[in-house]
């Protein structure tokens, strides 16, 4: 960071779960879990076994983190997953997506700031290993964070009817930034970095 600039907020401590953004793909492809069966005429809602894959498990974990109001890497990963899965809705100015982005505004802004504290070497490592998008190499992480935070703040302040679709490239890049931040912070907590 440049001298004289205030320190950006750091992530709060969080519960390190067995799997997280940096290692969920290391799980066996299918994992057995116990689920509650929906009550039907043939059962009374008893428990059953079901197979879930690593991606589904991570999505559930991220959704729980978001629902609990966490600022954890799991929650940042959940923001990326939602942005990634809903690119079409963003391009079409979906009102539900606008509401969701407004609801998670503080976490998104904090995640962008946290991205700005990551070293350029780490970003380069993630991109060269195919874990993130090359567009993140266009500027330093600090500069990218400042630029995208300005774009996101403008989106929030001046929401015109077509503002979501006009900012779809920004949201795409922000998603990559948040995913990289989540994977890096989680991996750092696990001693990978």
User: What are the boundaries of each domain within the chain?
Assistant: 55-189
**Tens digit of each residue's pLDDT (9 = 90 or more) over 9-66:** 444 556 777 778 888 777 655 565 555 555 666 666 666 566 677 788 888 889 999 9
Query: Between these two residues, 45 and 94, which has the higher pLDDT value?
Result: 94
Q: Which residues pair with 51 in a beta bridge?
A: 32
Q: Give me the phi and psi of 36, to 5 degrees please.
A: -90, 125
**Tens digit of each residue's pLDDT (9 = 90 or more) over 156-181:** 887 766 777 788 888 999 999 999 99
Q: Among 31-35, 80-84, 110-114, 157-161, whose mean pLDDT is lowest? A: 31-35
- pTM of the prediction? 0.80
Residue 5: pLDDT band with limits 50, 70, 90: very low
């Amino acid at each position: 960071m440049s001298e004289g600039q205030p320190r950006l907020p750091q992530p709060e401590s969080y519960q390190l779960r067995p799997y997280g953004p940096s290692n969920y793909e290391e799980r066996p492809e299918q994992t057995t879990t116990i689920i509650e069966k929906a009550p039907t005429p043939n059962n009374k809602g008893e428990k059953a076994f079901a197979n879930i894959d690593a991606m589904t498990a991570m999505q559930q974990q991220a959704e729980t983190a978001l629902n609990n109001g966490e600022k954890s890497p799991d929650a940042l990963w959940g923001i990326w997953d939602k942005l990634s899965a809903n690119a079409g809705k963003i391009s079409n100015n979906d009102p539900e997506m606008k509401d969701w982005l407004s609801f998670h505004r503080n976490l998104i802004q904090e995640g962008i700031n946290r991205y700005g504290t990551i070293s350029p070497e780490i970003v380069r490592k993630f991109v060269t290993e195919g874990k993130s998008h090359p567009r993140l190499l266009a500027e330093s992480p600090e500069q990218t964070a400042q630029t995208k935070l300005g774009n996101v703040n403008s989106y929030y302040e001046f929401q015109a009817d077509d503002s979501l679709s006009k900012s779809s490239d920004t949201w795409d890049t922000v998603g990559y930034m948040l995913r990289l931040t989540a994977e890096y912070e989680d991996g750092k907590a696990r001693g990978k970095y």
